[in-house]
Amino acid sequence: MAWAVLPLVTCGLATPFSIGFAAFWLRSVFQAVAAFLYLLCVVIFIAVSTGYEEFDDIPEPTSTVVSFLLVASWLGGVIHSGILVPAMVRARHAEAHYVPVRHAAPMPPPMQHATHSSPAMRQATHASAPVRHDGPQFIGPYRVLQALGRGGQGAVYLAATPHGAKVAVKVLHELGDEVSRQRFLREVEAARRVATFSTARVLDVSINGPQAYIVSEYVDGPSLEQLVRRYGPRDADSLTRLALSTSGALAAIHKAGIVHRDFKPSNILIGADGPRVIDFGIARALDQVTVTSGKMVGTPPYMSPEQLSGQPVGPPSDVFSWGVTMLFAATGRPAFGEDSVPAVFHRVLTVHPDLSPLPPSLRRIVGTCLDKTPENRPSASDVMLAIVH
């Protein structure tokens, strides 16, 4: 607390430096402005005072104004610093106790989960209206700024790192036993090795303590689903750019040995620097550790035939889902409908959708991606090369 009374023992002359230090520590623009205003008061006081041999020589109302500036810097700085100290202590405490978690602690038995995550759980909710935040102030070392959404997997928050960078933190429901949690950790660690172009990086994962969470790069933009539903289907140029960037993202994901398993429009965020694919590997990781293990993971209108029939799921499944997603971007509708689940499943397994809404340059490659047989589909890398050629 000695730092808080520094302006008191220096007659306020140290106030700009103490508040400025808080501004730097907390990465706060507001505190930086406050420090500047305090500095302005001190400079004016010193400039006027040094212009006269005696303080009594200063004429009115200048004398009163200068005295007020001194008192404001003096007492105001003490009060302001006293308010800031607890905030800085909390931030320092959170950073000091941060340990990148690689070992699990005992956790409660698992709760019931949905078979796939709700769109509200996706990072795409960054672009929607903020949800009133009644949750935790800190999640590990991350300071919570606002709630973004809640779904079957848990809750998503916009948060700040100890250094002030914005991140998305997904707090998960309870995981399973020790073996399951370690398997989950390995799956997410694999996701962290994915090349960062056209993907939202996985920055951290914790399965220790009372909360399990995944931290990913914050992408400030709507999802492809939100964009299309709000503004309509994309034009030919936009579709080509979207197809190229997302197929490149899938190629990077597959190169890291990961299968997305839930590729769809709500898992593509349109940031200022272009499309970003999110949640790669997370569906698989959660499926390994929750009570949904052994059940279907995915979103029906975008699932591949092998996902529906219970066959092994590999990179060709993501390629099929990519083709369905491109058709959604071109038409504003899922290629196999979105009515009853049995009807959608039947169409996925038997119907070949109309590709005419796509630009000619994409029709052939998308059609190949939608082949019902996984072995007949191209790889994501081949898709990317076909687009540029």
Q: How far apart are CA 116 and CA 100, in angstroms?
A: 27
Q: How far is CA 334 from the centre of its chain?
A: 25
Can you give the pTM of this predicted structure?
Answer: 0.60
Average pLDDT, the chain: 76
- Continuous H helices in 176-275: 178-191, 224-231, 236-255
Amino acid letter for position 219: V
Q: Which of 171, 170, 180, 169 is nearest to 109 (CA)?
A: 180
Q: How far apart are CA 303 and CA 133, in angstroms?
A: 34
Calculate ∠ Cα 255-389-257, nearest 5°: 5
Q: How far apart are CA 181 and CA 245, in angstroms?
A: 33
DSSP letter, residue 123: G
Give the chain's count of helices (H) and strands (E): 13, 8
Asked if residue 95 lies in contact with residue 162, where contact means CB atoms within 8 angstroms, the answer is: yes
CATH architecture of 119-217: 2-Layer Sandwich (3.30)
372 backbone dihedrals φ, ψ, rounded to 5°: -70, -20
Give the homologous superfamily in CATH for domain 224-388. Transferase(Phosphotransferase) domain 1 (1.10.510.10)
Q: How far apart are CA 388 and CA 220, in angstroms?
A: 28
Give the SS3 label for residue 38. Answer: helix
Write down the domain spans for the chain: 2-96, 119-217, 224-388
The four Cα atoms 286, 380, 242, 349 give a dihedral, to 10 degrees, of: -70
Asked if residue 136 lies in contact with residue 250, where contact means CB atoms within 8 angstroms, the answer is: no
Chain segment 173-229, per-residue pLDDT in tens: 665 566 666 666 766 776 666 766 677 777 888 877 667 788 888 888 899 999 999
Instruction: Write the CA distances from 266 to 13, 120, 200, 213, integer angstroms.
Output: 54, 9, 13, 20
Chain segment 238-253, per-residue pLDDT in tens: 999 999 999 999 998 8
In the chain, the percentage of residues whose pLDDT exceeds 70 is 68
Chain segment 257-281, per-residue pLDDT in tens: 888 888 999 889 898 888 988 877 5
Q: Which residues are catalytic?
A: 262
